[in-house]
Amino acid sequence: MQTAGGHEPARAAHHLVPSAHFEALASGRGGPEVVRFLRTTEYSRRLLLLRALLDGAAATPAALGPLPPVDSAWESLTAAQERAPEEFRELLLHPQVGVWLGHGMRRLRHTAWGDGPLWTDLGHLFAVCAVAALRAGLPLRTAVPLRDGDVMFPALGLARLPGRPRWSTAEVVVEAGRLTVEPHREGVGPPPAGADGDAPGWLGLRRLRARAAGRAVSVWLDDVDPYRELGEPLPPHRLGADRTARWQEGFERALEVLEECDPETAAALAEALRSLTAVPAPPGGRVRSASSGDSFGGLLSSPPPDPVAFAVTLVHEFQHGKLGALTHLLTLERDDGTERHHAPWREDPRPLSGLLQGAYAFLGIADFRSRHLDRVVPAGRVAAEFELALVRRQAREAVATLAADPALTAHGRRFVAGMAARLPARPADRRIRPVADALAALAATDHRTEWRIRHLVPDPEDVRALARAYVSGTTPGFRPAAPAVVPDRSGAWSHSRVRLVRRVLGGSPGAPSAARALLLGDPSAPEAYARLLAEDPDSPDAWTGLVLALATASPAARPLLRRPDLLRPLHHELRTLGTPAAPAPLAHWLADTALGAPPRDRPRHRPSG
């Protein structure tokens, strides 16, 4: 807290980012010493957020409801910091404490809401006070809010007092190294053995344990803290013993894989990671993972299918954490947040900040996959080459988009230049066979094409002029104007062709389909996609497949890849006019005429009369 009085302004250290740390981070790297620096800066930020939350609560009438006044929390926290500064620092840096601070500030500013009164979220402050007092060996008697009879003590465990009103309070006593909730009634609390264990009325936090860089690594496996995810507070969802055991085995093996490939990143990750929250897997067998700038050292993940996928998940979220901490210190971009960029791994348009975060994560994944490639068993080698070639293409495309954006600051341009320098040119890696690289190119083109079909909207007057030219059999004589980005959230992507690529590389050929014909170079592929369009003329997936099939079969059709967004609305306009066109001939006409036309002004249609 770094102040001797409860009403003095908050103070925190001024941090200068060493050039060596900046360059290491820009290249996607950064060892344990960089992580220690970022943890120091995050601690300063948490202190400021804590003081801002205390000040906001003091200035908001009834913010703490039936709980003690703000000054009592300030005094408890100050005493704990002075008695045990390292223990206090570690508590404040607990990822879930960061999530709570962020959520509490947003509730105070009316940019987030909760399912209970304001004091049920802000009052978590007193649970933090209780843990701080316990770690410092100080006595404390206070009140804490109950949520459905539960109260969470960060990095310790969850007390359960059933039969209480949904929103109520309980007394907490910290004395002689013990924490007890409702000492005159149920008297629940952690068992003497420590926070890992359960007891009547108490759910302890579990740990995942492993070794990395010659040191023991212990990470909370959090399934009870209401602030363990990134949105609204959640009820506990206890993992069974079998699932906990699978998480333990997966975590241990993932760190082994990571240390074998990249000891520096394994050591840095061991320095940073404090908490892992298990979340349900999404449909389709993919891994769902997430992290937040509020929760440095924490991540969410669904169960990865194997140690390599788990290592990729750890690297992915670690990259987000590093960049998030850096952007708390430096401004890398000044963008208005408009969703306008293609991110080669996302279905939706992204703002500049989101593209930067994603590109940085994929830079780290590319580095890991490159280091891991030579350790892949022969049976999985081509699939691994494909994944490396694809992630490099995705990262290169995103970094090129970033570098061209004028909203980057000087720091941002320097940072993106460091990212670009880390990515090798395509011909540089002879370990990737042509077949794997070609499939990666197809997958990247597939994503870019469908994204454009879904989210780019051409000028309606251009579409009408093209339709008139097609019906009259004339050449349009103009180049269509640039389209607008209009996010389309109407339906999920199938990713049918990329999923088939992965199945084929995994040894499963898949059933006959339009996607299979495309991958095999079968000349019937355009007709197969035309049949799908006869069933659903507005299908983005089928239009994407048709464009890819035509562009693969004929160089003359490749201009379609620049403006695939024109085909679907043009086809729709022709149907509206009562002159429907077959998709493949229409696509050839568009590629031969409008997309190859010189840049001239479009003739404007004037209504008759």
- pLDDT tens for residues 374-419? 999 999 999 999 999 999 999 999 999 999 999 999 999 999 999 9
Q: What's the whole-number mean pLDDT along residues 543-572?
A: 97
96-109 residue pLDDT tens: 999 999 999 999 99
Q: What pLDDT sits at residue 187?
A: 85
Name the token pair of 448: 């870019």
On the CB side of 605, how many CA atoms lie within 13 Å of its CA? Answer: 12
Residue type at 357? Q
- Could you tell me the pTM of the whole model? 0.93
203-224 residue pLDDT tens: 999 999 999 988 999 999 999 9
Measuring CA to CA, which residue among 536, 451, 434, 433 is closest to residue 488?
451
Q: What's the whole-number mean pLDDT along residues 274-289?
A: 91
Name the token pair of 503: 């199945």
Q: Which residue bears the tokens 């890991």?
A: 368
Least confident window among 135-144, 369-378, 435-444, 587-596: 587-596
Measuring CA to CA, which residue among 540, 510, 542, 541 is closest to residue 527?
542
Residue 144: its H or E element: strand 140-147
List strand residue ranges (DSSP E) for 405-491, in order: 456-457, 484-485
Contact 407, 341 (CB under 8 A): no
| 71 in a structural domain | yes
Contact 605, 468 (CB under 8 A): yes
Which DSSP category does 346 fall into?
-
Tell me the CA distances in angstroms from 61 to 25, 74, 108, 123, 292, one per residue in order.
44, 18, 11, 14, 30
**Percent helix, percent strand, percent coil in the chain, to nearest 5:** 50, 10, 35
Q: In angstroms, how far apart are the furthest CA atoms of the chain?
A: 94
210-259 residue pLDDT tens: 999 889 999 999 999 999 998 889 999 999 999 999 999 999 999 999 99
| 590 in a structural domain | yes
pLDDT band at 10 (very low <50, low <70, confident <90, very high): very low
Q: How far, rounded to the nearest angstrom, does the alpha carbon of residue 548 sit from its chain's CA centroid? A: 29
Name the token pair of 203: 């759910």
Which residues, 6 or more positions from 225, have their beta carbon under 8 angstroms from its beta carbon?
A: 96, 152, 154, 158, 205
Measuring CA to CA, which residue among 541, 503, 497 is closest to residue 519?
497
| 171 in a structural domain | yes
> Does the pLDDT at position 135 exceed 80?
yes
Residue type at 586? L
The more confidently predicted of residues 131 and 601 is: 131
Q: What pLDDT sits at residue 597?
A: 52
> Does the pLDDT at position 609 exceed 50?
no
- Strand, coil or helix: what is 219? strand
| 41 in a structural domain | yes
Residue 278: its H or E element: strand 275-278
The more confidently predicted of residues 428 and 145 is: 145
Q: What's the whole-number mean pLDDT along residues 143-151?
A: 97
Q: How far, rounded to the nearest angstrom, does the alpha carbon of residue 505 sit from its chain's CA centroid? A: 27
Per-residue burial over 294-321, b if 16 or more Cβ lie within 10 Å, else e, is bbbbbbbbbbbeebbbbbbbbbbbbbbb
Q: What pLDDT sits at residue 6?
A: 43
Beta bridge partners of 140: 174
* CA pair distance 153, 155, nearest whole angstrom: 6
Which DSSP category does 229 fall into?
S
Last residue of a domain, one of 266, 295, 318: 266
Least confident window among 58-72, 175-189, 516-530: 175-189
Q: Which residue bears the tokens 């069933």?
A: 535
Measuring CA to CA, which residue among 430, 311, 424, 422 is closest to residue 372?
311
* CA pair distance 349, 486, nearest whole angstrom: 8
* CA pair distance 290, 605, nearest whole angstrom: 50
Q: What pLDDT sits at residue 285?
A: 75
Least confident window among 182-196, 291-305, 340-354: 182-196
Q: What's the whole-number mean pLDDT along residues 195-204?
A: 86
pLDDT band at 3 (very low <50, low <70, confident <90, very high): very low
- pLDDT cut 90: percent of the chain above it: 87
| 12 in a structural domain | no
* CA pair distance 264, 296, nearest whole angstrom: 19
Q: What's the whole-number mean pLDDT along residues 270-299?
A: 94
Tell me the CA distances in angstroms from 318 to 40, 163, 231, 261, 293, one per residue in order.
17, 41, 20, 16, 11
- State the chain's mean pLDDT as an integer: 93
pLDDT band at 13 (very low <50, low <70, confident <90, very high): low
Dihedral class, residue 297 (left if φ above 0, else alpha if ψ from -120 to 50, else beta):
left
Number of Cβ atoms within 10 Å of the Cβ of 88: 23
Contact 191, 197 (CB under 8 A): yes
On the CB side of 490, how many CA atoms lie within 13 Å of its CA? Answer: 9
pLDDT band at 507 (very low <50, low <70, confident <90, very high): confident
Q: What's the whole-number mean pLDDT along residues 20-42?
A: 98
Measuring CA to CA, which residue among 216, 333, 228 is closest to residue 276?
228
* CA pair distance 85, 351, nearest whole angstrom: 39
Residue type at 450? E
pLDDT band at 193 (very low <50, low <70, confident <90, very high): low
Q: Are strands 202-204 and 157-160 parallel, antiparallel or unpaired?
A: antiparallel
Tell me the CA distances in angstroms from 32 to 17, 372, 404, one per residue in order.
15, 21, 32
| 507 in a structural domain | yes
Contact 322, 25 (CB under 8 A): yes
Residue 301: its H or E element: strand 298-301
* CA pair distance 299, 289, nearest whole angstrom: 7
Q: Are strands 484-485 and 456-457 parallel, antiparallel or unpaired?
A: antiparallel
Last residue of a domain, one of 266, 295, 321: 266
> Does the pLDDT at position 580 exceed 90?
yes
Beta bridge partners of 401: none
> Does the pLDDT at position 595 exceed 90?
no
Residue 38: its H or E element: helix 32-59
- Give start and end residues of each alpha helix (H) in 109-240: 118-122, 124-136
pLDDT band at 195 (very low <50, low <70, confident <90, very high): low
Q: Tell me the residue range of the domain where 534 lies.
A: 441-596
Name the token pair of 568: 């679907």
| 411 in a structural domain | no
Measuring CA to CA, which residue among 46, 52, 111, 26 is closest to residue 295?
46
> Does the pLDDT at position 197 exceed 90?
no
Q: What pLDDT sits at residue 213?
A: 86
Contact 279, 288 (CB under 8 A): yes
Q: What pLDDT sits at residue 284?
A: 75
| 306 in a structural domain | no
Contact 430, 478 (CB under 8 A): no
Measuring CA to CA, which residue among 149, 141, 134 is closest to residue 172?
141
The total domain count for the chain is 2
> Does the pLDDT at position 427 exceed 80?
no
Measuring CA to CA, which residue among 447, 388, 448 is closest to residue 423?
388
